[in-house]
């Protein structure tokens, strides 16, 4: 039997408190989702959930549901925000410890592999995801685009809903432009949204079905692969393949919208271009001594 859903009564308060602090609508949706899950898990109103129960829930996310550290820490942040800014109760950080994040290098696809997947997707999905690969956009950024954000004259994309609230420009690929023109001819989306939600055209399409379709297509085409592939992989591929072609790291940082060059520098671990130009110190000496 399914649990009865507990009404979430804090939508407006949560939205207001986050908006006052300049946090994005995406943060509101993520916090709301985590808080609802916690409330339904304990079958009680969120304000009645203790710090000890919240800790138990985080433990449940880790050891029963096997969620990633990002999800666990997001849930922790949402609960602390709710208690502090809506209920007015301070929760010391050490009472709900941060889950240590162990960074793993992302898996990468080749350009041909990406294009093969695109060939098996619907036109609508292909138009969205071509922007993730061709322009390095997060899927939320691609879905939030307005029609006027795509400039075919300068071949640029204006990313208005970037992470952290910082808008930026990125390049527009010829492939994406062709997909978008075909998409426009077939769907004629009402302004201003480029990818409107079918039920509410004022909002963007939801990412879930696109993400699911992409993952399922990858698994169907590459059933023996053990790579961890998601729609966000396309953004990693964009950066890595630019680096492969000789684009400098600073330019890639700007296109991705990374605040720190350290975030961008991970792609030097994924590219063959830089490694092929390196010479080990041992090979600079008398390496012929073993012959």
> Which positions are annotated as active-site residues?
138, 163, 232, 235, 258, 267
Phi, psi of 87 (to 5 degrees): -90, -15
Residue listed under structure tokens 């690969």: 133
39-to-9, 52, 59, 96, 127 alpha-carbon distances in Å: 11, 14, 15, 17, 37
Q: From the CB of residue 271, how many other CB atoms can be counted at a distance below 10 Å?
A: 17
Distance CA 43, CA 6 (A): 6
Edge-to-edge strand ranges of the sheet holding 168-171? 150-151, 156-159, 168-171
Instruction: Check if the beta carbon of residue 217 is closer than 8 Å to that of residue 115.
Output: no
Q: Is the bond leading into 155 cis (omega within 30 degrees of zero)? A: no
175, 135 contact by CB (below 8 A): no
Ramachandran class of 257: left when φ > 0, alpha when ψ lies in -120 to 50, beta otherwise: left
**Is 100:69 a contact under the CB 8 Å cutoff?**
yes
- d(CA 22, CA 77) in angstroms, rounded, equals 16
User: Count of alpha carbons within 13 Å of 161, Cβ hemisphere only?
Assistant: 15
- Please give the Cα distance from 91 to 31 (Å, whole number): 16
Six token digits for residue 246: 């000789």
């Amino acid at each position: 039997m399914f649990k009865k859903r507990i009404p979430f009564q804090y939508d407006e308060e949560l939205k207001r408190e986050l908006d006052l602090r300049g946090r994005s609508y995406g943060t509101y949706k993520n916090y709301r989702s985590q808080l609802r899950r916690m409330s339904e898990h304990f079958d009680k109103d969120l304000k009645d959930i203790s710090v000890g129960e919240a800790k138990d829930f985080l433990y449940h996310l880790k050891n029963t549901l096997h969620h990633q550290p990002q999800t666990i820490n997001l849930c922790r942040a949402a609960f602390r925000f709710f208690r502090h800014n809506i209920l007015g109760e301070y929760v010391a950080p050490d009472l709900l410890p941060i889950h240590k994040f162990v960074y793993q290098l992302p898996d990468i696809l080749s350009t041909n592999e990406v294009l093969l997947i695109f060939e098996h997707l619907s036109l609508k999905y292909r138009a969205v995801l071509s922007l993730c690969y061709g322009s390095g956009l997060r899927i939320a950024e691609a879905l939030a685009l307005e029609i006027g954000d795509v400039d075919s004259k300068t071949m640029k994309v204006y990313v208005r809903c970037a992470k952290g609230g910082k808008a930026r420009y990125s390049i527009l690929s010829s492939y994406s432009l062709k997909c978008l023109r075909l998409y426009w001819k077939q769907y004629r989306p009402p302004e201003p949204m480029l990818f409107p939600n079918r039920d509410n055209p004022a909002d963007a399409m939801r990412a879930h079905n696109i993400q699911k379709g992409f993952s399922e297509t990858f698994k169907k085409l590459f059933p023996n692969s053990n790579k961890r592939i998601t729609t966000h992989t396309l953004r990693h591929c964009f950066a890595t393949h630019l680096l492969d072609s000789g684009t400098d790291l600073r330019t890639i940082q700007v296109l991705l919208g990374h605040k720190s060059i350290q975030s961008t520098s991970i792609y030097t671990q994924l590219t063959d271009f830089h490694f092929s130009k390196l010479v080990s110190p041992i090979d600079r000496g008398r390496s012929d001594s073993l012959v």
